[in-house]
Amino acid sequence: MNAVALHRSPWVRARDRFASVLLVAGLALPATVLAQALNLINGDVTEKIALSDLRDISDTSFTLYDPYQGREVEMQGVAFQTFLIDHFGQVPPALHFTAWDDYEVTLEEWDDPNWYLITLEDGAPLTLRSRGPVRLVERDYGDRDVESLREFNDWIWMIRSIEAKW
């Protein structure tokens, strides 16, 4: 059997490369393009808060040991209790969170000044790759063991929307 090499013109090769780039960009781009706002849902009303605006009001910085990364991390964000009062008028009895990876959970009792909505880590904006663009963490762990990740399963990552449950 004789093998015959197919000759393709430089234009065909360039077109194929361009199509590959578009395919890769098309797969990666939607997640980064869409992750530009946090949705706050209160009944039939949805408020979109631009991530840049959320970073601008992130006025509290602190360093803590992040048990998931196994290191000290400088976090910057806004007190969650204050944030809820500013946007919902009071702290709702329960909140339904939806993450960018479609994780959903409803949790109660957020009237605690220990929780922070984090938007920056080590001076850089959180991304989907770094479990952002918005993350909810506790500032003080109390006497919990940082080696036991199960004790931190109420931290919420990659937050896309927060819905008030009245």
Q: Which two tokens stand for residue 128?
A: 């989907």
Q: How far lies 129's CA from each of 31, 70, 158, in Å?
A: 10, 17, 9
Query: Is 97 in contact with 36 (CB distance < 8 Å)?
Result: no
> Model confidence over 7-31: pLDDT tens digits?
667 766 666 676 565 555 555 444 4
How many CB atoms neighbour CB 164 within 10 A?
20
Bridge partners of 19, per DSSP, are none
Please give the mean pLDDT across all residues of the chain: 85
Confidence tier at 149 by pLDDT (50, 70, 90):
low
pLDDT at 65 over 50: yes
Q: Say what percent of the chain tops pLDDT 90.
A: 61
pLDDT at 127 over 80: yes
How buried is residue 148: exposed, middle or buried, by Cβ count under 10 Å (0-12/13-18/19+)? exposed
Confidence tier at 120 by pLDDT (50, 70, 90):
very high
pLDDT value of residue 110: 85
Query: Is 162 in contact with 96 (CB distance < 8 Å)?
Result: yes
Amino acid at 161: S
Greatest Cα-to-Cα distance within the chain, rounded to the nearest angstrom? 79
pTM given for the model = 0.76
pLDDT value of residue 2: 58
Max avg pLDDT among 3-17, 21-35, 61-75: 61-75
